[in-house]
């Protein structure tokens, strides 16, 4: 799947119409969820039942009927996606909360399938043809969507962000860019002192985007509460606050994407730890720093570029990678404050460098039993993990957090 994103330029009335369509999508999704909650246990509703119920909503409500029929089905599929995820978590006995579906309060996107839109001959204008009267939208961007066949466009999504409105095209195409083999292998150990340390001893500095902008963000947040509720000044203050967070998220994404691309392009084997970041975020002392480092996003980009360049990305279990000596395999216990690995065998290394070497050695030792996941990367730790649920395209996640990222600099 390939996602191309354009910014939308339109009139203020069209923006308001898009907002109304987005609210309609939220209404359909919440009604489908309520229909599933109120249904008796003997009914055992399936995905088709929610699609059928969305058709009944079109007969009952005029503003739902004005929306394209496939857009209503996509809204029902969003509800079923949350329901099926809840079922999968229950079946797999996931610890903690199972993720019971919640009602949406702030939906920001509307998704069309193969109908409800028409692309102009110049491929620079998009017309929404349903009765919501969104009309013709101008597409701003440098992507050459005209070079792709029109039949390959499977979905069109309009979404609202803090800095404007965007349009995403999802194309059913494989993005492969085979790179020459370099004969190099590398192990990566992510951290907070440095963003990552590789098995060659190089340490990538941690940018700490949120830490640098935290004082400015707090100042803009205080300005919100100084404005009167419901006033235009309060809305503008909230918009400024949202744009600052959006800028940080984009900085993290571009930073992780750039590093992952360079690592996968210059190495045939990339080994990294299979960290449970969601569990690590429960540590309230380090949660902010871990979230600011965006380790999971970095891993997703590594897996993506490894698949694109036809390289090997290997996830290994993280146990004892920092405590074990990379030379004699002896265990040297150390606290988080101890930054140097000193072993009786004479090995003296930085703690993270020693861990990165151990990660690479683990990947090599398990190289005879690879397991390929949906992204094409070899996950050698898969035998210790519970099988992941196969997700449909309706999530527009390639992988989960890349719907926005793939469309920003995929041609590079």
Does residue 410 fall inside a structural domain?
no
Q: Which of 136, 171, 206 delimits the end of a domain?
A: 171
Looking at the structure of the chain, the number of domains it has is: 2
Does residue 392 fall inside a structural domain?
no
Does one domain contain both 206 and 112?
A: no
End-to-end CA distance of the chain: 17
Does residue 387 fall inside a structural domain?
no
What was the pLDDT predicted at 117? Answer: 93
Does one domain contain both 234 and 318?
A: yes
Find out whether 128 and 1 touch, Cβ atoms under 8 Å: no
What was the pLDDT predicted at 322? Answer: 86
HSE, side-chain direction, 13 A CA sphere, residue 391: 17
Reported as type and span, the H/E element at residue 259 is helix 232-266
What was the pLDDT predicted at 367? Answer: 52
Does residue 360 fall inside a structural domain?
yes
> The dihedral of CA 95, 395, 293, 342: what is its sign?
positive
Rounded Cα–Cα distance for residues 20 and 110 (Å): 10
Find out whether 403 and 397 touch, Cβ atoms under 8 Å: yes
Who contacts 40 (Cβ-Cβ below 8 Å, separation ≥6)?
none
Does one domain contain both 149 and 224?
A: no
Find out whether 363 and 381 touch, Cβ atoms under 8 Å: no
Does residue 411 fall inside a structural domain?
no
Does one domain contain both 105 and 67?
A: yes
Q: Which domain holds residue 8?
A: 2-171
The pTM assigned to this predicted structure is: 0.81
In tens digits, the chain (412 residues) has pLDDT values of 788 999 999 999 999 999 999 999 999 999 999 999 999 887 888 999 999 999 999 999 999 999 999 999 999 999 999 999 999 999 998 888 889 999 999 999 999 999 999 999 888 999 999 999 999 999 998 888 888 888 899 999 999 999 999 999 999 988 888 888 988 999 999 999 999 999 898 999 999 999 999 999 999 999 999 999 989 999 999 999 999 999 999 999 999 999 999 999 999 999 999 998 888 898 899 999 999 999 999 999 999 999 999 999 999 998 888 888 888 888 888 888 888 888 888 888 888 898 999 999 989 887 533 433 434 444 433 333 333 333 333 333 333 333 333 433 333 3
Does one domain contain both 164 and 201?
A: no
Does one domain contain both 251 and 320?
A: yes
Does one domain contain both 191 and 165?
A: no
Does one domain contain both 189 and 284?
A: yes
Does residue 349 fall inside a structural domain?
yes
Does one domain contain both 165 and 207?
A: no
Does one domain contain both 150 and 69?
A: yes
CA neighbor of 121 nearest in space, from 136, 131, 142, 141: 136
Residue 351, classed as helix, strand or coil, is helix
Does one domain contain both 161 and 206?
A: no
Does residue 393 fall inside a structural domain?
no
Does one domain contain both 113 and 209?
A: no
Q: Which two tokens stand for residue 4?
A: 């191309």
Does residue 404 fall inside a structural domain?
no
């Amino acid at each position: 799947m390939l996602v191309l994103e354009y910014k939308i330029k339109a009139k203020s009335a069209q923006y308001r119409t898009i907002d109304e369509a987005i609210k309609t999508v939220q209404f359909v999704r919440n009604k489908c969820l309520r229909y599933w909650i109120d249904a008796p246990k003997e009914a055992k509703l399936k995905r088709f039942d929610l699609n059928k119920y969305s058709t009944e909503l079109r007969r009952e409500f005029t503003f739902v009927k004005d929306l394209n029929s496939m857009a209503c089905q996509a809204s029902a599929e969003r509800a079923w996606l949350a329901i099926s995820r809840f079922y999968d978590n229950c079946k797999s006995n996931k610890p903690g909360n199972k993720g019971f579906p919640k009602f949406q309060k702030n939906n920001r996107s509307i998704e069309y399938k193969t109908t409800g839109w028409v692309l102009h001959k110049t491929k620079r204008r998009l017309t929404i043809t349903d009765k919501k009267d969104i009309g013709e939208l101008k597409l701003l961007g440098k992507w050459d969507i005209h070079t792709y066949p029109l039949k390959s466009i499977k979905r069109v999504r309009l979404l609202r962000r803090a800095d404007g409105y965007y349009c995403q095209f999802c194309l059913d195409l494989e993005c492969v860019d085979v790179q020459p083999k370099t004969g190099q292998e590398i192990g990566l150990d992510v951290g907070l002192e440095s963003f990552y340390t590789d098995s060659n001893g190089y340490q990538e500095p941690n940018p700490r985007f949120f830490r640098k902008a935290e004082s400015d963000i707090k100042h803009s947040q205080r300005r919100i509460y100084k404005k009167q509720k419901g006033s235009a000044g309060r809305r503008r203050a909230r918009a400024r606050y949202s744009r600052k967070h959006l800028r940080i998220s984009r900085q993290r994404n571009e930073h992780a994407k750039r590093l992952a691309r360079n690592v996968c392009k210059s190495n045939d084997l990339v080994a990294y730890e299979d960290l449970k970041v969601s569990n690590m975020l429960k540590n309230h002392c380090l949660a902010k720093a871990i979230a600011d480092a965006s380790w999971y996003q970095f891993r997703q980009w590594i897996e993506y570029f490894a698949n694109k360049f036809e390289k090997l990305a290997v996830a290994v279990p993280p146990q004892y990678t920092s405590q074990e000596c990379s030379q004699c395999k002896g265990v040297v216990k150390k606290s988080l404050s101890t930054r140097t690995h000193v072993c009786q065998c004479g090995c003296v290394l930085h703690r993270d460098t020693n861990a990165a070497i151990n990660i690479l050695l683990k990947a090599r030792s398990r190289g005879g039993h690879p397991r390929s996941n949906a992204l094409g990367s070899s996950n050698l730790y898969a035998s210790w993990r519970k099988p992941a649920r196969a997700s449909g395209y309706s999530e527009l996640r390639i992988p989960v957090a890349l719907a926005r990222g793939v469309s920003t600099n995929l041609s590079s």
